Amino acid sequence: MVFAWNLSVNPGSRTVAPGHTTSFTVSVTGTIPGNPNVQLLVSPPVLGISASFTTNNVPAPFTSTMTVSVDPSKAPGSYGLPLWAHPANVLFPGPGNIAVGVNVVVAAFDFSLALSPPSITVKQGDTANYQIIISYSDPSYSGTTISVGVTGLGPGMNQQVIPSTSTLRISTSQSTPPAAYNIILTGSAMGVVHQASAVLVVQPAEQPFDFSMSASPTQQTITPGGSTTYTITVSLVSGSSQNVALSVSGAVPSGISTSLNPPSGSPSFNSILSVSTTSSVAPGQYSITVTGTAGAITRSAVVTLTVAQLPDFRIDVSPPSQTSTQGQTASYSVNVVGLNGFNAQVSLSIAGLPAGVGGTFSVQSSLPDYSSTLTLTIPGNSPAGSFTLTITGSGGGISRVANVVLVINPAQTQTQTTTQSGTTTGGGAMEMLQQNSLLIIAALIILVILFGALAMRSRGRQAAPRQAAASRIFCGKCGTGNPASNEFCSNCGNRLKGS
């Protein structure tokens, strides 16, 4: 039988989950004589499956959406639905109706779970986010609510499922022990249960950045004009390395200059502190502080610089003064003492000696400390008096002096006088006369007065020859008696009065 109208369904088959619906597009095309209403229906109906139409019981042509609903208890399987187009002016069933088959597949419900990524590493106190991935056995099950639970959390952990983003968020705390944790996500729906797992690695919390500083050596000793170096070590204590800027802080004494190489770096690293001095720097002990700065963190290291006295020596002489006589010797004890580590030969010399005086050292040159005896030989014709002598020590580019005094007294002289009775020594008498000249003069005056008185007394008795009175003349200087014929004193050379 040929119809001028027709019935079609698109698609011919759909899959649906129990308790869910699906839809088909139904088209009635062509015209029917008498233009009767056309009824769409499923006959015979399938138990547990029902159909409804958006457009129905209207004249052809028209299009309608058929919605198929499946009871939740409907067993999975493939079900054929006979779809009829029944014009109202013909009997049903009968030759004037058109039928097509519609296949409805009731799928068994299932799903799968996965966590992505499969492993996350965090620090203590940080949070890990996993994406929850759900796959259904059939697209018709999409949107089916899955109840989930999380196990495997460590101490101090908390979990949160965020449905809107399908995210599993796990937070840790500072008390969470560092370890690898196996996180298990359990999902259930419609009696189906599945699990997914992922690994959460918790590492120790990163400590705030910190560093330490030290110096090696901590003390150096130099002399004025010298230089030295220290090694400054900057070590990473915790956290991620940051740049540390180094500087010499505090007041650096005059005559001392410093430099750091390198002046900055990321711990751990070493920097060389170079210290140089001028020749005029004052000896002493100085503290130099090297400061490291990284943001608000400041650390320091202190070194000590000792500027020592230059190597030197001194000359000690004892006694400081000696007295001797012409023709004799004098000696001094000379000590050469090294100072501040002086280590060079020191040679001794003497200057300022009077004419004819010779000086010798028992040890003329040696390494300090040492002693030497200076012996002076004084000839009989050397000038008498007080003389300042200079003893000089030279060595290691240094000269040091010590002054001493030498007093030379005249030697005692001897005068020999020969008489008929023998030989007498006049030197002592001469010295005695010189020392007592006033007494001698007074005695002579008294003698002259006595002689005058005696002469006057005897003038009337006896006339003595004038030659006898003047037979001897006494020296007015030394008192020595001289023949009257002498013009000068035979002892001291003084001119005799009355000659």
Residue 393 is predicted with a pLDDT of 96
pLDDT, average across residues 233-238: 94
pLDDT, average across residues 96-104: 95
Residue 279 is predicted with a pLDDT of 87
Whole-number Cα distances in Å, 40 to 28, 43, 87, 100: 9, 10, 9, 11
Q: What is the pLDDT of residues 114-146, one digit of tens each?
A: 999 999 999 999 999 999 999 988 787 788 889
Q: Name the pLDDT band for 447 (thresholds 50, 70, 90).
A: confident
pLDDT, average across residues 470-484: 69
Residue 390 is predicted with a pLDDT of 96
Q: Above pLDDT 90, what percent of the chain?
A: 66
pLDDT, average across residues 319-327: 94
Q: What is the pLDDT of residues 244-255, one digit of tens each?
A: 999 997 667 788
Residue 498 is predicted with a pLDDT of 52
Which pTM does this prediction carry? 0.44
Q: Is the pLDDT of residue 471 over 70?
A: no
Give φ, ψ of 231 to 5 degrees: -100, 120
